[in-house]
Structures are given as C-alpha cells and as structure tokens.
Amino acid sequence: MTGALPVIAGSNFGYQLYPLRHCFAQMAAAGRTDFELWGIAGHAHLPWLSDEQARALRAQAADYGLRIRCLTPEQVSYPVNIASPNRDLRRHSLRGFRRAAQLAAELGAELLFLTAGCGSALEEPERGFARSAEALAEICGYAHELGLRCVLEPLQPSESNLVTTAGQAAAMLEAVRAPNLGVTLDTVAMAVAGESVEDYWRSVGDRLWHVHLIDGRPAGHLAWGDGWLDLRGILRDLVAGGYDGLLTVELFGEGKYHADPGAAHRRSARAIEQVLGELSGHLGRN
C-alpha cells in the first residue's frame, strides 16, 4: 500500500429535482471539498451554458468551499453518440464534447468525463470501435490544448456495445494513444462485467484516474448499504494499487434517492470514510 488515500467527491448526481446551490450547500455541510459536476438541464446544461455562466458556477462552488474537479457531460443517451454510424449525429456529438472541454476549463476542472458511445447492432463491433477511437482522439487532442485530462468509463452492456470491460478500455487506450486519456472505474459496471479492481490494475495500470464508487445488485447505482458489493474489498484493492484520486458516489437508483439525496450521500460517505479510516490505520502500521 502507498501512503496516500483517495478522496470522496461531492456531486449533483441524484439532485435533479433541486437547485444546484442546494446541492453545493449539502455537499459542503457533509465535508466535501472536491466536486464532480454532472452537466444536466437545470444545473449546467452544457449546450446552453456560456463561458460567463460557467465561471459564475465555479465561483458559486467556491463560495461553499468546493472545487469542481471533473465535468461529466450528459452522454449515454440519444442523440449524443461519438460512435454513431450516422455522420451528422457523430459530428454533433464531437462539437458537443469540444464545447464541454472549453466549459471544463472555465469551470476550473482538470478532468473531462467520456464514454465510448455505441455502434450499430447490425455491424461488426470493430467498425463502431474505430469510429469511437477516432472521435476520442480528436476530443483528447483538443482537451490537451486546454490543459485537461480525459477519463473513459466502461459502460454496462445495456449502454454500450464497444467498451464494457477493463480489457476493452485498455484496447481503446492503445487505439487512441492520447497521453491525457485515462480510465474511470465504475464499480457497478465492473460488477456487471464480472470483473474486479485487480482486473483494472492489470489492464490499465497507472491510467486508472477516476472512480465512481457506488453499490449495486450488481446494477443499480445505489447508496452504500442498499446493494451487495464489497466496499471494503474494493477500497482495499484501490488503495493497495496506489489509487489516490476522487471517489464519486454516483446516485441514481431509479429515482429512489430524489426525495433526500443528501441523506443517501451522507450514508454512503460515512461507510466509505469508515473503511478508509481502517485502511489508514493499517497504512500507519506499515
């Protein structure tokens, strides 16, 4: 194990029915200092967001002692698909991600969150993979000019037919060959794929730059304690491999947390903090 521990990030996942300022206030009250911003309508709809508005959001977050570290554009939905066989949809998606990179820089973020998109069900997966790699290379190249790193998340098979495993993420890294492209480990996607943290370390090594840490059955994006994933084992293996980045609790749960997302976040954070505290004590004895 290394001497550094990862950091729990606040986020607006689960806060669709609340103003973003309310989310900022609750994250600050929960002790968060780092924040992942999900670019959804009502909070930060990226197609409508101006540079000036982005800078205002950055200042508003700072008012609550929060720093926006990662921008996650809305993307696992039509018509945003960088691997689409439809040329117009692909161009539209690329323009959207270039704009997202500009806004990430204005927000002061260091990470731009990406997914591989989805190819046609009636073509060989290699064709969609190649389109995705080409698009990711363009996005990462532009993001690099702005001083940003990008993180690619393997999705569940219900979301993508291109990158759903650690091995496929490694293959995409090899295809794109962008020094500023790393990988996000999503614990639910990992569990659905039947994989482990060790599989990610073996496949992508030190390119593991971001983590969505949520419970599941194995799917669901649940608060910790509402699923059956092994939180202690996951954190132990992340820390043992040297991961010291962000841990974002990405709450969805089919709307079950909308009534009180703050409570779900606090419950999850307490569970994570308890395990990190135990791991920290172990580090101190070594």
pLDDT tens for residues 87-126? 999 999 999 999 999 999 999 999 999 999 999 999 999 9
pLDDT at 254 over 90: no
Give the per-residue pLDDT at 98: 97
Give the per-residue pLDDT at 283: 59
The C-alpha angle 18, 24, 27, rounded to 5 degrees, equals: 105
In this structure, is residue 165 part of a structural domain? yes
- What are 264-285's pLDDT values in tens digits? 999 999 999 999 999 887 655 4
3-class secondary-structure state, position 113: strand
pLDDT at 286 over 60: no
Which residues are known catalytic residues?
153, 250
Sign for the CA dihedral angle at 10, 16, 20, 21 comes to: negative
Identify the band that residue 3 occupies on the pLDDT scale cut at 50, 70 and 90: low
Mean pLDDT for the stretch of residues 14-28? 96
How much is the mean pLDDT over the chain?
95
In this structure, is residue 2 part of a structural domain? no
**pTM recorded for the entire structure:** 0.95
How many angstroms separate the CA atoms of 42 and 213, rounded? 24
Contact 119, 128 (CB under 8 A): yes
Q: What is the chain's length?
A: 286
Q: Which domain holds residue 53?
A: 7-284
pLDDT at 1 over 50: no
Q: Of 71-80, 137-146, 176-185, 218-227, give the lowest mean pLDDT range.
A: 71-80
pLDDT at 70 over 80: yes
Give the per-residue pLDDT at 256: 87
- What are 22-39's pLDDT values in tens digits? 999 999 999 999 999 999
In this structure, is residue 242 part of a structural domain? yes
Mean pLDDT for the stretch of residues 224-242? 96
Nearest to 219 by CA among 256, 253, 169: 253
Instruction: List the CATH number of the domain containing 95.
Output: 3.20.20.150
Return the beta strands (E) in 13-61 as ranges: 34-39
Mean pLDDT for the stretch of residues 202-211? 98
β partners of residue 111: 70, 149
In this structure, is residue 1 part of a structural domain? no
The count of domains in the chain is: 1
pLDDT at 130 over 90: yes
Mean pLDDT for the stretch of residues 170-184? 98
69 phi, psi to nearest 5 deg: -100, -30
How many angstroms separate the CA atoms of 261 and 206, rounded? 32
Mean pLDDT for the stretch of residues 7-23? 96
pLDDT at 134 over 90: yes
